Amino acid sequence: MSDRIILETRDLTCRFYGKKALLSRERPFVTAVDGVSLSIRDGETLGLVGESGCGKSTLGKAILRLIEPTAGQVLFEGRDMAAASAEELRALRRELQVVFQDPYSSLNPRMTAFELVEAPLEVHRIGTKAERAARVAEMLRMVGIDEGSLHKFPHEFSGGQRQRIGIARALILGPRFIICDEAVSALDVSVRAQILNLLRSLQRQMGLTMLFISHDLSVIRHISDRVAVMYLGSIVELAPKAELYAHPLHPYTRGLLSAIPIPDVHRVRLDEIPEGEIPDSYHQPAGCKYHNRCPLAQDVCRRERPALREACDGHFVACHLAREKSSE
Ligand code: SF4
């Protein structure tokens, strides 16, 4: 992995507006992504973790411009994606791809595995029919689909095999950057490990950079180089994986780690499981967004929103009270 930044978001914000209430002047809105600034290095896997509804999938879609951000920038290799012409955006789409959670609903049931993986090549008018056939067969072989299954339909495959086809489809154009959005969440545990290992192996072979989105800290630990923790649309902690799991600084991260049900004899359990539900997105708390669930909240937390600051080398945290190392 190099130190070169391949993808960057600057103050990226996504708001969704609801209907105006009778007699109200303003439309209510949800800020799903709230001024997120992230840098992803060439060849790394950045894990993005948080509870359902925290905005992590919206952030992924905004990076890919599957939804238009309300404000902020996405830079790919220094180029502002919002300023890209239609032609440039088409070229950029070859470089940035996505693997979704549910391969069954993201694959057309009327197309064979071969046709599904060939389709992006046809859309981008790449190669002759024979060249495309060779490339598709090679890609499917790389993800572990044997030649005898090329002309089967999605319903004839298992969940893990369907996800392998989804991965082949995402990688057939030779992208530099992929977003895996809950890509293994729908799979059985044993299959999950196989797909994670496959992604790791393909990453090395193809020099990929990954943003891996998951609500599951065990999965994030398995695959990531660095980890960003998201809460109500904001990044609250960001650190190299080993540092984050050994010395979580933000009470929310400490709570998430405490909530992992599998006992870990190497880790002191931190009895800080978050209480209550994630607040209604239409009514985000003032000050620190976590203050109504945080066991350490003080007056300053209710008044002032903490900025994401570097607490120690490469370890960033947004908390008024976080010190350099946790004192568990
Ligand atoms: Fe808890 Fe205060 Fe830190 Fe927010 S700023 S996480 S409320 S201690």
Whether 78 is in a domain gets the answer yes
**Does position 262 have pLDDT exceeding 70, yes or no?**
no
Full domain range(s) for residue 191: 5-95+175-326
Q: Does residue 188 sit within a domain?
A: yes
- Does residue 271 register a pLDDT over 70? no
Q: Does 106 map to a domain?
A: no
Cβ–ligand 1 contact at 321 (below 6 Å): yes
At 80-124, the pLDDT tens digits run: 988 888 888 888 889 999 998 876 677 899 999 999 999 999 999
* 3-state SS assignment for residue 111: coil
Q: Is 320 in the pocket of ligand 1 (CB under 6 A)?
A: yes
Question: Of residues 84 and 275, which shows the higher confidence score?
Answer: 84
Could you tell me if the CB of 249 is within 6 A of ligand 1? no
Residue 91 domain-assigned (yes or no): yes
| % the chain with pLDDT above 70 | 91
Beta strands in 58-132 (DSSP E): 71-76, 79-80, 96-99
Mean pLDDT value across the chain: 89
Look at residue 138 and tell me if it is in a domain. no
State in Å: Cα 46 to ligand 1 middle: 24
| Pocket mutation for ligand 1, best pick of 230, 256, 288 (most atoms within 8 Å of C-beta) | 288
Residue 45 lies in a domain: yes
Alpha-carbon distance values, 104 to 160, 162, 301 (Å)? 10, 7, 44
| Total count of domains within the chain | 1
The answer as to whether 59 is a domain residue is: yes
The verdict on the CB of residue 293 being under 6 Å from ligand 1 is: no
Asked whether residue 115 is domain-assigned, the answer is no
Q: Tens digit of pLDDT for each residue in 8-39?
A: 999 999 999 888 777 777 788 889 999 999 99
Reply yes or no on whether the pLDDT at 277 is more than 80.
no
Determine contact, residues 169/116, Cβ cutoff 8 Å.
Answer: yes
The CATH number of whichever domain residue 17 belongs to comes to 3.40.50.300
Q: Assess whether pLDDT exceeds 60 at residue 265.
A: no
Average pLDDT over residues 251-261: 85
